[in-house]
Amino acid sequence: MSKCVLQPWVLDLTYMQQSVLITSVRGPDGIRKDHVAKLLLRWLRRCFLVSAFDGRALTDPVEQGGGSFTGPSLDVTELIRSCDGHAESECDLDFCPPRWYDPMQCVVGSYLSTVDELPHHFQLHFMHASEILGYKHTDRWVRLWWLQTYGRIVNDAHLQPESEERMDRRLGDCKQDWRAAEEIVAIKPSERKAVERELAKASEACKERE
């Protein structure tokens, strides 16, 4: 029987968006084992990977299991319910966030206070994966949590968030659209014409696809 470590909803994404998620799973080298980045990485992995030890997706950052790779990021004692003017017993789960939501946002705050310790390359991988989860995850509260996290990361860098439409175009499996969204700095003058011909072919392929 064939198996796939990606959760089923991920397979509906473009190849490029799937690739961005896959490349985000590795943590940064050279940090201590209890670094706060590890808490966010374990939650990130839970959001689109199947836990190998459990044989299923772990859908919140609290549930026990997952080993060290997709283990929990919070202890049950850290959970709170952010209720707006009513008792927890009266919560409507359509309107009140899960009990892990705010504590995990506190983890994001701790993470952002440590980004100077981390490789910029890792931070970019994490930011782009947060963006995809924030726009594409099928669970409403998980999606909203990651979208908020993505917004905090770009705000911390004094940037503006990319819209879902622009992200879909940049990561839409079309070479021309991807090239248009980056600065090409590593092309030798002797290679420029070949690259221009390649982009022209990619442009025609995109038009045929449309």
DSSP character string of 84-106: SSS-GGG--TTTSPPTTHHHHHH
Q: Can you read off the two tokens belonging to residue 1?
A: 């029987």
Q: Return the number of other C-beta atoms located less than 10 Å from residue 54's C-beta.
A: 14
User: Which pTM was predicted?
Assistant: 0.85
pLDDT of residue 179: 82
Adjacent-strand bridge partners of 170: none
pLDDT, tens only, 105-146:
999 999 999 999 999 999 999 999 999 999 999 999 999 999
Domain boundaries, the chain: 8-173, 175-210
pLDDT of residue 88: 61
Average pLDDT, the chain: 89
Q: Can you read off the two tokens belonging to residue 134?
A: 């924030």
pLDDT, tens only, 23-74:
999 999 889 989 999 999 999 999 999 999 999 999 999 999 999 999 999 9
DSSP annotation of 47: T
